């Protein structure tokens, strides 16, 4: 950073990444705590497996597709903090209100509304993290450290919810999440005051000037679009955790109070996988993403059985794949897009990601009602197709 930037930002780039990791950790306690029981909670209102897949998939699609608007908006206005704070506030209010939902429609709207908050904040947040990444830990590892802290909250949140379910039921589990929600907002406001201009961290460290591929008329390269297609195909074969939790509920293999604990296990696996893949990405680039594909392919072989130990393994596999998706996939976008278009790139990338996840969750939910073998065949086919696209991208990139 130059002298002016250093004066305006009172934390180093590394401190900024760690502080934002704390915000995400607290926020994840809230919304991941809720997501750990979303499937079973919706089932209490009479939702079917396909309905759970549709609602949760729609929520993920809203969280990701609406970034088509919020991403360019962050580039155009550069109001990164305004969008981030507004998005977190929406999410952190919607979750505790689930405690008083009385119909499936109300619960479903709040699930989708919580994801809308994520759509508002994430491109702006990721743009700020991308700016600080090279000046802190390195691109891949910075996103991995943030994700690992994020997932530590996702580990604690479900355990907190599980304890409240044992004591007082689902509604108490949602209500208690208001506490970390308030703490997350207070920490975020403090960080905004300490670091008013995070993009200043990028001065002298903008790798996009040298490593990003040549852009076309849209400002984004063919490699970026091919990478986005690879991600979409991979996500088409990856269900939301709610579908896995729905199976646990209706199959009766795991006690309801233990279902959020399986999610906590998944989040612990996600944190470890994020750190490992982030470290690997900084050394071998896009080839690090190959690890996620077999992990995702194995998920239905374990998670949809009637054997309790296999279900726990399936949850860990799902979490490990998710950790790579939410850290290393994001890091690569920053290297494939110029800094001035990162908000737009994140919006476009995650829109494709979300549409594919909506479709995949709904398809897997429907196939679940037909045949376990059909689910496995569909998931494996998508991961093989994604592997082919990744090989094409690596060839074009000379990797």
For 201-230, write each residue's pLDDT tens digit.
876 554 444 455 655 545 788 899 999 999
Query: Please, is 387 exposed, middle or buried when counting C-beta atoms within 10 Å of its C-beta (0-12, 13-18, 19+)?
Result: middle
Q: Which stretches within the chain are classed as H helix?
A: 3-8, 13-35, 38-43, 49-65, 67-77, 80-97, 104-133, 139-168, 170-175, 178-194, 222-236, 241-251, 259-284, 292-303, 308-336, 342-368, 372-396
Non-local (6+) Cβ contacts of 246 within 8 A are 39, 40, 43, 49, 52, 53, 365
Torsion of CA 347, 352, 356, 358, to 10 degrees: 40
Q: Which pLDDT band holds residue 381 (cuts at 50, 70, 90)? A: very high
Tens of pLDDT, residue by residue over 56-114, are 878 877 877 788 899 899 989 999 999 999 999 999 999 999 999 989 999 999 999 99
- The whole-number pLDDT of residue 251 equals 82
Could you count the other beta carbons within 10 Å of the beta carbon of residue 218?
11
Q: Which residue has the higher pLDDT, 340 or 274?
A: 274
Question: Among 153, 160, 152, which residue's Cα sits nearest to residue 257?
Answer: 160
The pLDDT tens digits of the residues spanning 297-351 come to 999 999 999 899 999 999 999 999 999 988 888 888 988 988 888 888 988 898 8
Whole-prediction pTM: 0.76
CA distance 61 to 309: 31
Q: Which residues contact 238 (CB under 8 A, 6 or more apart)?
A: 296, 299, 321, 322, 325, 357, 360, 379
Residue 8: its pLDDT value, please? 83
pLDDT tens per residue across span 107-133:
999 999 999 999 999 889 998 998 888
Work out the number of other CB atoms within 10 angstroms of the CB of residue 46: 9
Residue, of 137 and 189, whose pLDDT is higher: 189
Interatomic CA distance for residues 158 and 37, integer angstroms: 8
What average pLDDT does this structure show over 382-396?
A: 95
Q: Return the CA Rg of the chain.
A: 20
Cα 134 to chain centroid distance, Å, stands at 21
Q: What percent of the chain has pLDDT over 90?
A: 47
**Which tens digit of pLDDT belongs to each residue from 348-369?**
898 888 788 888 988 998 898 8
Give the separation between CA 67 and CA 367, rounded to whole angstroms: 29
What is the per-residue pLDDT across 19-29, written as a single tens digit (0 to 9) for each? Answer: 999 999 999 99
* Distance set, CA 276 to CA 44, 199, 227, 282, 320 (Å): 38, 26, 21, 10, 10
**Residues 224-251 pLDDT 10s:** 999 999 999 999 999 888 788 888 888 8
Predicted confidence (pLDDT) at residue 271 exceeds the cutoff of 90: no
**Mean pLDDT computed over every residue of the chain:** 87
Domain ranges of the chain: 3-396
- DSSP label at residue 213: P
Homologous superfamily assigned to 3-396: MFS general substrate transporter like domains (1.20.1250.20)
Question: 230 near 290, Cβ under 8 Å?
Answer: no
**How distant, in Å, are the alpha carbons of 31, 232, 236, 293, 336 from that of 225?**
30, 11, 17, 19, 9
Contacts of 84 (CB under 8 A, 6+ apart): 121, 124, 125, 128, 188
């Amino acid at each position: 950073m130059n002298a002016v930037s250093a004066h305006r930002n009172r934390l180093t780039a590394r401190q900024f990444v760690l502080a934002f990791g704390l915000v995400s950790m607290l926020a994840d306690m809230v919304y991941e705590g809720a997501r750990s029981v979303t499937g079973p909670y919706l089932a209490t209102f009479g939702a079917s497996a396909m309905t759970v897949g549709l609602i949760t998939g729609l929520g993920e699609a809203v969280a990701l597709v609406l970034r088509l608007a919020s991403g360019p908006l962050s580039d155009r206005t550069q109001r990164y903090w305004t969008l981030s704070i507004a998005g977190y506030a929406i999410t952190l209010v919607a979750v505790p209100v689930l405690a008083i939902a009385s119909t499936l429609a109300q619960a479903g709207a709040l699930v989708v509304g919580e994801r809308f908050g994520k759509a508002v904040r994430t491109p702006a947040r990721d743009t700020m993290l991308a700016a600080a990444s090279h000046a802190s830990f390195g691109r891949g590892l910075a996103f991995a450290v943030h994700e690992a802290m994020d997932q530590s909250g996702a580990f604690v949140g479900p355990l907190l919810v599980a304890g409240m379910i044992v004591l007082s039921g689902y509604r108490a589990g949602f209500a208690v999440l208001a506490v970390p929600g308030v703490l997350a907002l207070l920490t975020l406001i403090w960080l905004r005051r300490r670091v008013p201009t995070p993009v200043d961290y990028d001065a002298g460290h903008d790798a996009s000037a040298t490593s990003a591929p040549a852009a076309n008329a849209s400002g984004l390269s063919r490699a970026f679009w091919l990478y986005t297609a690879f991600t979409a195909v991979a996500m088409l074969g990856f269900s939301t955790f709610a579908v896995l939790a729905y199976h646990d509920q209706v199959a009766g293999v795991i006690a309801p109070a233990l279902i959020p604990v399986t999610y906590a296990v998944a989040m612990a696996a996600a944190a470890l996988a994020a750190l490992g893949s982030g470290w690997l990405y900084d050394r071998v680039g896009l080839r690090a993403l190959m690890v996620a594909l077999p992990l995702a392919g194995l998920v239905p072989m374990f998670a949809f059985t009637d054997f309790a130990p296999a279900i726990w393994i399936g949850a860990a596999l799902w979490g490990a794949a998710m950790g790579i998706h939410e850290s290393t996939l994001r890091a690569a976008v920053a290297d494939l897009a110029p800094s001035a278009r990162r908000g737009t790139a994140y919006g476009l990338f995650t829109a494709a990601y979300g549409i594919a996840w909506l479709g995949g969750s709904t398809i897997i939910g429907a196939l679940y009602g037909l045949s376990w073998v059909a689910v496995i065949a569909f998931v494996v086919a998508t991961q093989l197709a994604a592997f082919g696209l990744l090989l094409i991208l690596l060839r074009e990139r000379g990797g």
